[in-house]
Structure formats: C-alpha cells, structure tokens
C-alpha cells in the first residue's frame, strides 16, 4: 500500500505456531533522503468488545541499488495475551502506518497463508482487505465457564494445601542438596549466603515450584491485602473516592488539583500515599489500604501502582489513571515491547485501568497502546496540574518567590537545561555530563545569562560546574518543581523530555540538544518522527546551542500548532472536567 508519493508499506509475512503470531512488513521510501526517513508502524487488534494497539518495530534497514530506503519490521505477538478478557475466538489484525499526519490502515490485496499450518487451532482469512483470525473450535474463557472456574479454583487450593503438608519433605530435600552436597538433575536456580540461608531458600523454591506460586515478602503482603480487601468489601456500604500513589507521600501533582475540586463538592475522599515497593510497606499500612479499598467505589492513581495488580475487589470498583505526563513523546509501557527494558507481553501491569486521562484526543491511541487498554477508555479531559499555567496571579507569585529565593536570577536572561535521563530506569539512570559543559556555554553567552540545571529525578549524581562562574549556575535538580521554573525561563534546552508540552503553554523558545538521536531512537523511540515533531530547533553540538541563543533562531513558529495539537482545551479547567468524570462514575456505582 502506498502512503504518499515517496513511501510504500506491504505486509510480507504472517505465520502462526501454537499461540504466537509472527507478523512482518516491508517499508520502502524513494525520497532520496534516507537520513530523514522515520517510518512508524503498529498493529491494531480488534474483537467484538475490545481493541488494542501494539507496536510493529522496524528492526533492520538497508538500501536497494537505486539508494532507496528499505525498512524491515517484524515481531512475534503472543495471542493469548493480546486482549484483557482473553477473547480470541474471532478478531481482526490491522497493520497501520504513520503517513506524516495520522495512522492509516495498510490494506492487504493478497497474502500467502501457507505459513499458517492446517494443524493450527487458528484459521486466517482475508475480509475486505483485512486479516481476520478465527479459532477453529471456539473456546470460552475459564472465568466465563462457572463450573470449570470453580473446579480450577478448588484444584489450586488443594495443590496449595498439599504443598503445606509437604514442607517437611522439602526441608529434608534441601538438607540433602545443600548440606550433603548432592546435586539435583534439573536444578534451575542457585543460592548464595550461609548454609542455613541456602537450605531455607532451596526449600522455599521447592515449595514455590510445586505450587506454581512465587513466595516472598511482597507476594505474602499482596495476598493478605487481596483477602482483607475482599472480605471487608462484603460489609462496606460507603461510596468514597480513594486517591493512591506509589511515587509520592504528599498531596501534590494531579491528585492534589482534582482533590481540591472534589472537596468543594463535598465528596468523601480518602488517601493512601505510600512511595516504595510492596515488600517495604508495613503491615499496618497494608490493612489500612484494604479498609480504604473496601470503603471506596472509585480509585484514582497518578502512576504505575503495582500493589493493585490482581486485587479481586477492584472488579466492583472503577480504577482511574491520572498519568503525570502531558502529551505523547517518548514511548512507554507496552509501546516498548521488543526493546531493551521493555515489558513482557504476558505482563499485567497497567492493564487493569478502567479509564485513563490524557491532554488531547490525538494521543488517546498512544496511551491505549502504552497501558495495554482499549482506546475507548482513554478520555481527553486534560492534565489537572497544568491549570496553574492559566492563572496569572499564581505565575506572578511563583516568579516573585523564585527571585527572592535566588537573587542571582533577577534581571538576567535565564536558560533552563532540563534533559531526560539515559538508561533503562531508576536503577541505571544517568546523564553524560561531559556532553554539556556549563562553563563553556556561559562564557560564550556572556554575563547577561544565568543557567539553571534541572536533571530528571532518576539521575542521582550532580552535574559538574565550573567554579570560576559557579555563581551564575544553579543546580535545582533536587529542589524546585520544574513547572515553577518554567515561569521564569527565557530559553529551554532539552532533548527528549516531556517538559516541552508544559513549555509550549508559555510559548517558551526551545532548543533540542539531540547529540545521540539515532541511538535513542533505537533504544527508546518516540510516538512521532522526532525531526518533524519537536516545536523548536534541533542542535547537535554545544556550539550550535550558543549560536542559536545569540542569534535568536529557535524555530519558535512551530509552538502554536504544537500546543493546539496536544491540548484540546486551553482554559485551565482540566481539574473540573476530571472531577466531574470521577463523580459521574461514583453515581453509577452500586
């Protein structure tokens, strides 16, 4: 299928073995500018009740004899995990490609289905130039088959009880292996530490292997939370709203803004703000959460909250995600499948959200892809914490406070350096400080400029500063909120940070210091082709940064369209819309 004058995409492979479908496509671009080609592909899976997007990454590139770009995309999709309700009896598989404006369907004129063998349980058809996969023998999900579900549950309980009875045997076996030094044929794990510790760990592993249940502190606390919340829910008749966060212990961010509106409307609001992993949360807090879940009918989170995975009581409640970021820039969640640090397709993370809030209609599909949920459950109601960008009194007050706290900023031109991190996450995050010489930049710009450094919270090390001009450099990475700093910023230097969406609300000139763009695309990637997406000038060297600032060349004319593209409503009333939506869910709950 031809997307435009220069680009053509064709599906060239479809194979199914057991529950894995391999899908491949070839993209060809004849523009003669292969260095500027950024082709995006994805796959839309759709059944009668649910639709889901998953990426189709280009894994290899080459050039033909005429020098045209050829991109090869392929990925294995685990069909049993595509849909949340596991309905795989009849569904469509639609490859989509980004044509520079939107994603369009890639039609299939003909396809060789010989790679789908007759003995497979699936049959493949072409209907209206779209691929349809149909299970030869329809299967009802276990949870819909009442008798089978009860029998499976009883079996799992019996299996667990037998495992408890066999604990002495597991300890004896552990003594045989660890203390007596006898190896076991199919040993899959190894343990360190003292002999006593290794003996206990081996016995625990034998129990977990028998019961098919990973036993650790986190799983035990999670089971207690599950049982307590389900039991208490039987006796609770309250209809509260519960705000939860695993990333903050204070009432800030989106939940603070929505809470303010709900309080004005006399809603019954509860809070559970406990950052950290489940295994470190005290048992008293676990029971407190169980009690609050039982009292609530709507639960609101602002980030990934793993403690809520697999809580049975949530089936009678609505779970709403107020994601902390605006717009859609770097890929996250299931959009990173197949990349280093990306999730497994079997992961259940994020997929239990009933609804998610975003800033514009255009990006609903990307959040649906990242969270692994249906696009229809993503609502473009706005990002509550951006309401302050439309309050002049608030902006004036923040400016005055910052100038009072940091007098060096007064009457200066302020450059804010706010890059994102490199690495796969909090444990490996870093920034290559040697690529941004603070002293060199300020010496080039002159005395009228002050530099504020604001690294991502994941970056723990401090950016080196030239002592000779240290008074004109402020590293506020561990202090001020980045939104507040934008109110005094004259120029923003970033790379791949989503701060660009908030900056666009204030029409701040932006420079994109993308010295490692190609490497970043391979490791992380973006939802849009980077070079045609960013609302500012892309620079590759520090010399380019200084030249752009001195000449005032920022590509600022792109900001207006960018802002309206990623914010449906520029009225400062996102908190009210989200609060109204939550209250409507509460009214519908029994």
- Predicted local confidence at residue 113, as pLDDT: 59
Q: What confidence category does residue 116 fall into, taking pLDDT thresholds of 50, 70 and 90?
A: low
* pLDDT one-digit tens code per residue, 284-303: 999 999 999 999 999 999 98
Are 246 and 282 found together in one domain?
Answer: yes
Q: 135, 151, 179 — which closes off a domain?
A: 135
**Would you state the structure tokens that stand for residue 334, as one six-digit string?**
């299931």
pLDDT at 114 over 60: no
587 is a domain residue: no
According to DSSP, residue 526 is labeled B
CATH number of 55's domain: 2.60.40.2440
CATH number of 554's domain: 3.40.50.12580
Q: What confidence category does residue 432 fall into, taking pLDDT thresholds of 50, 70 and 90?
A: very high
1 is a domain residue: no
580 is a domain residue: no
Are 419 and 559 found together in one domain?
Answer: yes
Which has more confidence, 176 or 73? 73
Q: What confidence category does residue 129 fall into, taking pLDDT thresholds of 50, 70 and 90?
A: confident
- Predicted local confidence at residue 270, as pLDDT: 95
The whole-chain average pLDDT of the chain stands at 87
Are 363 and 257 found together in one domain?
Answer: yes
pLDDT at 109 over 80: no
Are 375 and 399 found together in one domain?
Answer: no
590 is a domain residue: no
Are 345 and 401 found together in one domain?
Answer: no
Half-sphere exposure of 231 (CA within 13 A, CB side): 9
581 is a domain residue: no
Q: How far is CA 318 from CA 178, 230, 241, in A?
A: 48, 15, 10
Are 47 and 82 found together in one domain?
Answer: yes
User: Stretch 130-142: mean pLDDT, rounded?
Assistant: 72
Q: 331, 364, 386 — which closes off a domain?
A: 386
User: Stretch 444-448: mean pLDDT, rounded?
Assistant: 91
Is-contact 28 4, C-beta < 8 A?
no
- Predicted local confidence at residue 237, as pLDDT: 81
- Predicted local confidence at residue 217, as pLDDT: 79
Number of structural domains (the chain) is 4
Is-contact 22 74, C-beta < 8 A?
yes
pLDDT at 167 over 90: no
507 is a domain residue: yes
Are 420 and 548 found together in one domain?
Answer: yes
* pLDDT one-digit tens code per residue, 1-40: 666 667 888 888 888 887 888 899 998 888 777 667 778 8
Residue span of the structural domain in which 529 resides: 392-566
According to DSSP, residue 435 is labeled G
Q: What confidence category does residue 146 fall into, taking pLDDT thresholds of 50, 70 and 90?
A: low
Are 288 and 154 found together in one domain?
Answer: no
Q: What confidence category does residue 86 fall into, taking pLDDT thresholds of 50, 70 and 90?
A: low
Query: What is the rounded distance in angstroms from the CA atom of residue 258 to the CA atom of residue 576?
Result: 7
589 is a domain residue: no
For the beta sheet containing 537-539, the strands, ordered from the edge strand earlier in sequence to the opposite edge, are: 473-475, 449-453, 413-417, 491-494, 510-513, 537-539
Are 157 and 119 found together in one domain?
Answer: no
- Predicted local confidence at residue 138, as pLDDT: 66
pLDDT at 177 over 90: no
Q: What confidence category does residue 402 fall into, taking pLDDT thresholds of 50, 70 and 90?
A: very high
463 is a domain residue: yes
Is-contact 98 529, C-beta < 8 A?
yes
Q: 196, 211, 226 — which closes off a domain?
A: 211
Q: Other CB atoms closer than 10 Å to residue 12's CB: what's the count?
A: 14
Are 414 and 559 found together in one domain?
Answer: yes
Are 123 and 180 found together in one domain?
Answer: no
According to DSSP, residue 476 is labeled -
Are 414 and 557 found together in one domain?
Answer: yes
pLDDT at 185 over 60: no
Q: Supply the angle between the helices 253-264 and 574-588 in degrees, to the nearest 10.
A: 70
Which has more confidence, 377 or 425? 377
- Predicted local confidence at residue 187, as pLDDT: 52
Identity of the highest mean pLDDT range in 9-13, 99-103, 128-132, 444-448:
444-448
Percentage of residues of the chain with pLDDT beyond 90: 45
Query: What is the rounded distance in angstroms from the CA atom of residue 260 to the CA atom of residue 83?
Result: 36
Stated pTM of the model:
0.86
Enclosing H/E stretch for 439: helix 438-445
Termini Cα distance of the chain? 49
């Amino acid at each position: 299928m031809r997307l435009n004058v220069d680009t053509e995409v064709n599906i060239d492979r479809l194979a199914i073995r057991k529950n894995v479908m391999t899908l491949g496509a070839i993209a060809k671009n004849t523009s003669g500018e292969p260095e500027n080609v950024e082709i995006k592909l994805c796959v839309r899976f759709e059944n009668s009740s649910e639709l889901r997007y998953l990426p189709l990454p280009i894994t290899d590139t080459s050039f033909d004899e005429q020098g045209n770009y050829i991109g090869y995309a392929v990925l294995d999709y685990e069909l049993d995990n595509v849909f949340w309700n596991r309905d795989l009896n009849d569904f469509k598989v639609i490859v989509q490609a980004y044509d520079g404006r939107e994603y369009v369907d890639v039609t299939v004129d003909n396809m060789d289905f010989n790679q789908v063998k007759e003995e497979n349980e699936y049959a493949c058809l072409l209907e209206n130039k779209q691929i349809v996969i149909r299970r030869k023998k329809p299967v009802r999900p276990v949870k819909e088959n009442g008798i089978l579900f009860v029998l499976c549950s009883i079996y799992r309980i019996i299996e667990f009880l037998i495992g408890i009875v066999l604990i002495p045997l597991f300890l004896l076996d552990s003594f045989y292996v660890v203390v007596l030094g006898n190896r076991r044929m199919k040993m899959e794990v190894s343990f360190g530490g003292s002999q006593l510790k290794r003996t206990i760990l081996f016995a625990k592993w034998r129990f977990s292997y028998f019961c098919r249940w990973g036993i650790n502190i986190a799983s035990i606390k999670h089971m207690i939370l599950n049982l307590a919340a389900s039991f208490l829910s039987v006796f609770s008749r309250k209809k509260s709203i519960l705000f939860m966060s695993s990333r903050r212990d204070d009432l800030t961010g989106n939940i603070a803004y929505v809470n303010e509106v709900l309080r004005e409307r006399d809603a019954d609001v509860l809070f559970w703000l406990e950052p950290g992993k489940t295994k470190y949360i005290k048992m008293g807090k676990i029971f407190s959460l169980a009690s609050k879940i039982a009292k609530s009918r709507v639960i609101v989170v602002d980030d990934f909250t793993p403690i809520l995975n697999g809580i049975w009581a949530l089936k009678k409640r609505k779970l709403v995600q107020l994601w902390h970021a605006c717009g859609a820039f770097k890929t996250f969640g299931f959009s990173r499948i197949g990349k280093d640090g990306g999730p497994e397709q079997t992961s259940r993370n994020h997929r239990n959200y009933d609804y998610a809030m975003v800033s514009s209609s255009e990006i609903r599909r990307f959040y649906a892809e990242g969270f692994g949920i249906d696009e229809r459950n993503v609502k473009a109601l706005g990002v509550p914490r951006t309401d302050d960008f439309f309050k002049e009194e608030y902006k004036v007050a923040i400016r005055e406070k910052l100038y009072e706290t940091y007098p060096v900023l007064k009457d200066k031109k302020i450059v804010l350096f706010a890059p994102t991190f490199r690495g796969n996450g909090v444990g490996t995050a870093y920034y290559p400080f040697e690529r941004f010489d603070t002293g060199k930049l300020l010496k080039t710009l002159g005395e009228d400029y002050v530099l504020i450094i604001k690294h991502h919270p994941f970056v723990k090390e401090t950016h080196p500063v030239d002592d000779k001009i240290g008074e004109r450099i402020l590293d506020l990475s561990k202090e001020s909120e980045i939104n507040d700093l934008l109110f005094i910023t004259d120029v923003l230097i970033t790379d791949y940070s989503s701060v660009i969406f908030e900056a666009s609300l204030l029409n701040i000139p932006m420079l994109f210091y993308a010295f490692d763009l190609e490497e970043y695309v391979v490791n992380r990637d973006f939802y849009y082709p980077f070079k045609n997406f960013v609302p500012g000038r892309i620079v590759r060297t520090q010399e380019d940064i200084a030249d752009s600032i001195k000449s005032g060349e920022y590509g600022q004319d792109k900001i207006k369209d960018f802002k309206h593209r990623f914010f449906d409503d520029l009225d400062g009333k996102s908190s009210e819309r989200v609060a109204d939506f939550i209250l409507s869910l509460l009214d519908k709950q029994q």
